[in-house]
Amino acid sequence: MNRAILITYPDKYVIEEADELAKAAGYEPSKVLTQDYLSRARFGVGAGKAEEVAKLVKETSADVVIFDSKLKTTQAYNLAELCHVEVKDREKIILEIFAKRATTSEAKLQVQLAELEYELPKAKNRVRMAKRGEQPGFFGLGKYEVDIYVRMMKKRVVVLKEKVREVENRRELFRRRRDSQKFPTLALAGYTAAGKTTLFNRLTGETKEVDAGVFTTLAPTTRAIMINGRKVLITDTVGFISNLPAYMIEAFKSTLEEVSLATAVLLLIDASQPEKKFLRSYDSSVQTLGDLQVAPSKTLVLLNKCDLTDKETIEQRKMMVGPDAIPVSSKTGYGINQLHDAIDAKLQGRDAEMKQVLAR
């Protein structure tokens, strides 16, 4: 495994998540450095901290520096020059995990597109720098070759977008066929590792891969289930994470549309997490659902993993997210009957709304 120096914020849970992300991408953080602000102009961190990073890289013979925030091209370049190793920011790490985990052709395409969207502005910037003579020898290329490289990338983005659109169209056709059968659809959504696939398996009797690590599921799966005598289609989806940039959501649009277009969304939160981490994953999930234009009235909040916590904590968590939240355990099956009833009630509400609309 590649050894890394991890730069992140001084918050226990933020450090924990950054460490998990680094490991999932195949790096072993041997030292963690923290700073309140990771947006200093020259190196992301302050100059003194940057010197410290360089020293640690040397001492630990690290192969890479991981920066748990966004880095501009110049900042990454300056830091890499100072440390003599590659510097990767949070987005890059997430992309590397996605690339490792993508198994379906759709997921692979989406990841490739996201990778290019990530690289393109950086490459453009390198062209500007090369032209000003600030950064000669990018990949050993001269400024004209860099120009050609950028043009090639732009072409690839166009080709990939076209392919992704084809996949989107296919998915759209699928969905229309499904919709024509008029079955209500449920989407499982939530922070990565909240337990979506575990719940999906429990509700459908499937055996899809479940793992303690981040981003186990990248491609959606839909199955039909019976909820209190009613046929419902349920879809497992890719997990959320805080600070997911817009172009990544865009690249995974066809997947996330399963959430946007669902009749109701089951939002899973791992209720066994410490309060601060719980709130962080709840807030970021709610924000992502907002970005996906899911109305709050469509959402059922599930407090998952309640087998790992006590009644008192569950009550506290309910006060934070709303009294209608349903405690469940996807692992033991606790609360599943109550969940069935809540889904049924949500869908009945929708039936009534549909009738009203039709009667107008």
Ligand X SMILES: Nc1nc2c(ncn2[C@@H]2O[C@H](COP(=O)(O)OP(=O)(O)OP(=O)(O)O)[C@@H](O)[C@H]2O)c(=O)[nH]1
Smallest separation (angstroms) from ligand X to the CB of 216: 4
Q: How many chain residues bind Mg ion (CB under 5 A)?
A: 4
Q: Taking CB under 6 A as the rule, does residue 211 contact ligand X?
A: yes
C-alpha to C-alpha distance for 265 and 293, rounded to whole angstroms: 12
Residue 284: exposed, middle, or buried by beta-carbon count in 10 A (0-12, 13-18, 19+)? Answer: middle
Q: Taking CB under 6 A as the rule, does residue 239 contact ligand X?
A: yes
Stretch that binds ligand X, among 133-141, 163-171, 210-218, 275-283 (CB under 6 A): 210-218
Q: Taking CB under 6 A as the rule, does residue 304 contact ligand X?
A: yes
Q: Taking CB under 5 A as the rule, does residue 217 contact Mg ion?
A: yes
Stretch that binds ligand X, among 37-45, 177-185, 195-203, 276-284 (CB under 6 A): 195-203
Neighbours of 3 (CB within 10 A): 16
C-beta pairs of 219-223 under 8 Å, 24+ apart in sequence: 219/102, 219/103, 219/104, 219/106, 219/107, 219/255, 220/255, 220/258, 222/178, 222/185, 222/258
Residue 352: exposed, middle, or buried by beta-carbon count in 10 A (0-12, 13-18, 19+)? Answer: exposed
Q: How many chain residues bind ligand X (CB under 6 A)?
A: 23
Among 112, 192, 235, 288, binds ligand X (CB under 6 A): 192
In degrees, to the nearest 5, what angle opens at C-alpha 127 toward C-alphas 122 and 132? 125
Coil, helix or strand at residue 67? strand
Among 92, 196, 280, 346, binds ligand X (CB under 6 A): 196
Q: Which of residues 66-125 bind ligand X (CB under 6 A)?
A: none
Stretch that binds ligand X, among 60-68, 69-77, 171-179, 191-199 (CB under 6 A): 191-199
Q: Taking CB under 6 A as the rule, does residue 195 contact ligand X?
A: yes
Number of H helices, E strands in the chain: 12, 10
Among 115, 219, 330, 343, binds ligand X (CB under 6 A): 330
Assigned token pair, 258: 């399963």
Q: Please give the residue ranges that form the binding site for ligand X (CB under 6 A).
A: 190, 192-198, 210-212, 214-217, 239, 304-305, 307-308, 329-331
